[in-house]
């Protein structure tokens, strides 16, 4: 499944968290920090993901597909990304 980076804008994080907790399986969601998530989803586009979360017309947010990554972060983020990326190859 594709990976997406979701950022809650303004004060939308609590409402988006509620939607994520009810619509995304725990193993398919990585919380980077409050209001920032990476999601492993069957959605094919960013809009499809927003529609499935039912946030398209109600909350301010930003979603982009993850096609590659680089940076410095906590080790478990890299482990989660590696596991999700490896699962797509096999």
Q: What is the pLDDT of residue 41?
A: 95
Q: What is the pLDDT of residue 29?
A: 97
Average pLDDT value for residue range 62-90: 89
Report whether pLDDT(89) > 60: no
Its pTM stands at 0.91
Cα separation, 56 vs 82, in Å, equals: 29
Cα separation, 20 vs 59, in Å, equals: 13
Q: Partners of 64 in the beta sheet?
A: 5
Q: What is the pLDDT of residues 8-59, one digit of tens each?
A: 999 999 999 999 999 999 899 999 999 999 999 999 999 999 999 999 999 9
Q: What is the pLDDT of residue 80?
A: 95
Average pLDDT value for residue range 61-83: 94
């Amino acid at each position: 499944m594709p990976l997406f980076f979701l950022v809650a804008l303004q004060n939308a994080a609590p409402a988006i968290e509620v939607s994520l907790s009810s619509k995304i399986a725990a193993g398919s969601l990585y919380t980077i920090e409050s209001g920032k998530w990476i999601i492993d989803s069957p959605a094919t586009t960013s809009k499809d993901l927003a529609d499935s979360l039912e946030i398209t017309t109600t909350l301010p947010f930003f979603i982009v597909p993850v096609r590659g990554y680089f940076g410095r972060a906590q080790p478990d983020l890299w482990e989660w990304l590696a596991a999700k990326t490896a699962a797509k190859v096999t």
